[in-house]
């Protein structure tokens, strides 16, 4: 998601690029949509300080980094976005995903949430899982610059 939002990073930022990679669309596979929210939950489930290590500290100590990297803070992206999660997602809280989808939509982005029944966090990203054809079809749609034809939950993956 961040790659799609790079053009919105402030010009003086050390992570700003003069010529950011052009992105046709975004497929988020149960990624953290708001880096400042649920940090303790991520640390517990991942058994590591993944967000704060990546960002170099907590939001209170390096707020500019979170402002420049958190998808929630950088919308609108101006490209279609699909957030794909499993029905039994336990890493990224559904309320955070729903809030992101609402905010991106209200900001004018074309965004879609797809919830795949009967799967959790890891199944959606495995090419060997039953969910992979759905992931592949979504990628193909985004490469064409459009959202997938259906919306909401999809049966079985």
Q: For residue range 117-151, what is the model confidence (pLDDT) as tens digits?
A: 999 998 998 999 999 999 999 999 999 888 997 64
Delimit the domains of the chain by residue range.
2-34+75-143
The residue whose two tokens read 């490469």 is 143
The answer to whether the peptide bond before residue 76 is cis (omega within 30 degrees of 0) is: yes
pLDDT bucket at 8, cuts 50 / 70 / 90? confident
**CB burial string 72-108: b at 16+ within 10 A, e below:** bebbbbebbbbbbbbeebebbbeebbeebbebbbeee
pLDDT of residue 56: 92
For 2-34+75-143, the fitting CATH number among 3.40.50.1820, 3.30.70.1290, 3.40.50.280, 3.40.50.2000 is: 3.40.50.1820
pLDDT tens profile 20-47: 788 889 999 999 999 899 888 888 888 8
Residue 99 predicted with pLDDT over 90:
yes
Residue 153 predicted with pLDDT over 50:
no
Average pLDDT along the chain:
88
Percent of the chain with pLDDT over 90: 56
pLDDT bucket at 19, cuts 50 / 70 / 90? confident
pLDDT tens profile 81-93: 999 999 999 889 9
7 close to 68: Cβ distance less than 8 angstroms: no
Higher pLDDT, 48 or 86: 86
pLDDT of residue 138: 95
Name which of 66, 76, 64 is nearest 5 in CA terms.
76
pLDDT bucket at 50, cuts 50 / 70 / 90? confident
């Amino acid at each position: 998601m961040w790659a799609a939002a790079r053009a919105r990073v402030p010009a003086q930022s050390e992570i700003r690029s003069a010529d950011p990679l052009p992105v046709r669309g975004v497929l988020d596979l149960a990624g953290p949509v708001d880096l400042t929210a649920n940090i303790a939950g991520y640390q517990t489930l991942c058994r590591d300080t993944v967000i704060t290590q990546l960002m170099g500290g907590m939001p209170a100590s390096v707020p500019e980094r979170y402002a420049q990297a958190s998808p929630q803070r950088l919308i609108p992206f101006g490209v279609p976005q699909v957030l794909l999660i499993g029905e039994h997602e336990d890493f990224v809280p559904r309320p955070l995903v729903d809030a992101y989808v609402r905010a991106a939509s209200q900001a004018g982005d074309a965004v879609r949430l797809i919830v795949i029944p009967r799967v959790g966090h890891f199944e959606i990203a495995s090419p060997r899982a039953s969910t992979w054809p759905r992931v592949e079809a979504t990628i193909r749609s985004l490469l064409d610059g459009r959202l997938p034809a259906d919306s909401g939950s999809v049966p079985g993956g």
